[in-house]
């Protein structure tokens, strides 16, 4: 079992995006801690003061990005990288989704996309060890398809690329995609076909 903390300083936002039934289901997810009011403020204050000990027991840290100051944001990212903890930052100010998988998984997402109906299934799957990749929150079981198609396109570009500098950049991107997906390059076309057949 994996442990999750969801730090939301604007609890009314959950009610804005989720119905009462979904909020009730959210509260029943095993190993999900959702600190309220003063406890929530305490977590935010300790993160902003670069004190992370309260987060040691959690595998996934989810927090409203705007609740953190710049020091807290940098400290939290550094802590997650050092401790290899997954991190989701959500905010209404996020206009696009960004995902990184360099020593730790980090997902930055708009609040509306975060508080979707798939959130409950994602958190339940993560807490029970059935979900590993944060992109499954958005793309569900098909999260790999975009990466694999991009890998195939970059591979074809690499074959015809003349510039050594560009070849190195393309190879770095290919290596990053392989790291994210965990699929050997010989099996990528087969995996693409299997995913498309499931859709």
E strand residue ranges, the chain: 4-7, 32-33, 60-64, 86-91, 98-101, 105-110
d(CA 7, CA 132): 20
- pLDDT score, position 89: 97
pLDDT of the chain, 199 residues: tens digit per residue: 999 999 999 888 888 899 889 989 999 998 999 999 999 999 999 999 999 999 999 999 999 999 999 999 999 999 999 999 999 999 988 778 888 877 788 999 999 999 988 899 999 999 999 888 888 898 777 667 767 877 888 888 888 888 999 989 988 888 888 887 888 878 877 877 777 676 5
Q: Where are the domains of the chain?
A: 4-138, 145-198
- pLDDT score, position 199: 58
- pLDDT score, position 97: 80
Secondary structure letter of residue 100 according to DSSP:
E
The answer to whether the CB of 141 falls within 8 A of the CB of 198 is: yes
At 121, list the tokens.
Answer: 């299934």
pTM for the structure as a whole: 0.77
**Fold (CATH) for 4-138:** Rossmann fold (3.40.50)
- pLDDT score, position 126: 94
- pLDDT score, position 73: 96
The answer to whether the CB of 129 falls within 8 A of the CB of 2 is: yes
């Amino acid at each position: 079992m994996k442990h999750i903390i969801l730090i939301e300083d604007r609890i009314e936002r959950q009610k804005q995006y989720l119905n009462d039934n979904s909020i009730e289901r959210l509260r029943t997810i095993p190993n999900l801690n959702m600190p309220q009011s003063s406890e929530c403020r305490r977590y935010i204050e300790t993160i902003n003061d670069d004190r992370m000990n309260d987060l040691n027991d959690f595998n996934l840290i989810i927090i409203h990005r705007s609740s953190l100051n710049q020091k807290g944001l940098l400290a939290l990212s550094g802590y997650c990288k050092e401790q290899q903890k997954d991190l989701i930052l959500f905010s209404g100010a996020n206009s696009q989704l960004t995902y990184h998988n360099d020593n730790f998984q980090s997902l930055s997402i708009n609040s509306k996309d975060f508080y979707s109906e798939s959130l409950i299934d994602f958190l339940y799957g993560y807490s029970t060890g059935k979900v590993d990749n944060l992109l499954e929150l958005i793309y569900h079981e098909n999260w790999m398809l975009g990466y694999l198609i991009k890998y195939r396109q970059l591979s074809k570009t690499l074959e015809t690329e003349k510039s050594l500098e560009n070849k190195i950049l393309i190879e770095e991107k290919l290596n990053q995609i392989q790291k994210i997906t965990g699929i050997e390059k010989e099996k990528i076309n087969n995996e693409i076909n299997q995913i498309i057949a499931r859709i």
